[in-house]
Chains A and B, each alone.
Chain A
């Protein structure tokens, strides 16, 4: 009566775990709220409220704000990973995962793969909302896709960082509030919504230290010039650096848990 099993394999286990996370989202569509509602709402509010004041009109403001809100949404989607991982760890299901003869990091890897879908949806929503509001990037569709992919990769890299936070934090609520705060500060103290020259000197200094500023600049340049700029290389390298440093740390924290 033995049931035939093959030994756990990382790729298959991760795929199953990613599938599980997707199922959870499908059953609870409100998990997509932050990546769908938030960019639409922000795009509309900021565009129509501040467009006139900052850029002299909605249309002129869109090239500034579309990349800004795209990156802000990536940040917020990535920061959701931490809370979800913590929530999962605190539920009884994780005990079962751990007692199964499966690849040890599969639950973590599955979560991060499923998260890239959230990032993808966030990107589509942000760019589409911009388009509907009248945003017409000078670079072609190909470069829009490139900038979207760069944003997704950056968000995915950052989700490792937030996952680490989730693993180290005491409760899901702690992760949630910390992530929201980080997201707000990083996205607002940058060039996401206003030109840096309009800021006071100390604030400019901080915004220049903020990696979000560089990501937004890179995406704006790609969309404006239709070319892969040094700024884009820098952001790509930054993203790879984050993954290289934080992926092992996150796996370590996960093992320790």
Chain B
């Protein structure tokens, strides 16, 4: 079972005019994992996703979905995944129920099966009350939920989510995350693109950081954070006169440089064991400190470190 990857990407490339938008991308997505594509705006995340989901033809390279080539076995590959795009791709002019019915029928469900599945999904996504209302009156969150519901009609083993929570308020976003976690629990493999680092941190088992169409780094969120370096220690020296001595003392304990802004000092620790030593040294020198913070590196640091931006 695990021998077949949910997705296999080999040397995928796409050029728009002179610009390489996706440049020789290769990676695998394992079954049952949440795989995040992380990158700044214009890094090529959506273009990659569009190629994976057969919406866009690649200039070069190969994509296999559960072992099926998306070019040679397009229809078979398409039957194995659900897609939720960046903008809700539902029909604005018709009701939620009609949307689900039509997409169920287009997915090849019989009329009776489509009816049943529609009712199930409306209930699952708390849309039953508004099922027959015009979509024009739907909130952004409801639209996204309907959009996701449509992608799940066939209970696909693989689900693509393109920026699933962009433009949603914090509450709706948390609800969306819960829904996504629920899908993972049922055994779905999920590929999501996001520019929200907390979202990637919360949801993804593994991340691929993409910048300028190239794969910059791949790994678990923890691995990526480790790459950026150790824990950040910061504190404020209470008395201005002691700042210079404090800098000297801290610098003696760590290899790195001490950054100073006013009375605030910060330093990157290579290992946590350095922390008590620094505190002991400061204590011995009778230097008082406050506002002490010890911070694990965040994905923000990874992001800033790995991507150049300017897209």
Contacts and interface: CB of A to CB of B under 8 A. Distances in A.
A100 B82 CA distance: 8
Contacts of B106: 8, 13, 16-17, 97, 100, 102, 106
B55 A99 contact: yes
A98 interface: yes
Contact of A95 (B83, B103, B186): B83
B109 A5 contact: yes
B165 interface: no
Contacts, number: 90
Nearest to B90: A93
A255 B131 CA distance: 33
Given A2-B155, A8-B108, A92 B103 contact: no
Contacts of A94: 89
B85 A23 contact: no
Nearest to B91: A93
B93 A8 contact: no
A20 interface: yes
Interface in A134-190: none
A106 B79 CA distance: 16
Contacts of A106: 106
A2 B108 CA distance: 13
A101 interface: yes
A20 B99 CA distance: 9
A91 B92 contact: yes
A206 to B, nearest CB: 40
Contacts of B186: 1
A3 interface: yes
A96 interface: yes
B207 to A, nearest CB: 24
- For the complex of A and B, the 3 pairs showing the least CB-CB separation, nearest first, are A92-B89, A5-B108, A101-B79
A5 B107 contact: yes
A101 B78 contact: yes
A157 B153 CA distance: 36
A198 interface: no
Nearest to A6: B108
B191 interface: no
A2 B187 CA distance: 12
Contact of B103 (A6, A12, A28, A96): A96
A108 to B, nearest CB: 14
Contact of B79 (A5, A27, A91, A92): A5
A151 B117 CA distance: 42
A4 interface: yes
B105 to A, nearest CB: 4
B102 interface: yes
A7 interface: yes
Most buried by B among A2, A6, A101: A101
A99 B54 contact: yes
A41 B105 CA distance: 40
17 contacts: A3-B109, A5-B79, A5-B107, A5-B108, A5-B109, A7-B75, A23-B94, A27-B95, A91-B89, A92-B89, A93-B89, A93-B91, A95-B89, A98-B55, A99-B53, A99-B83, A101-B78
B79 A16 contact: no
A96 B87 CA distance: 11
Given A19-B102, A24-B91, A101-B108, 18 more contacts: A1-B155, A1-B186, A3-B154, A8-B108, A16-B105, A20-B91, A91-B89, A92-B88, A93-B89, A95-B85, A96-B89, A97-B106, A98-B55, A99-B55, A99-B83, A101-B75, A101-B78, A102-B108
A27 B55 contact: no
Nearest to A88: B91
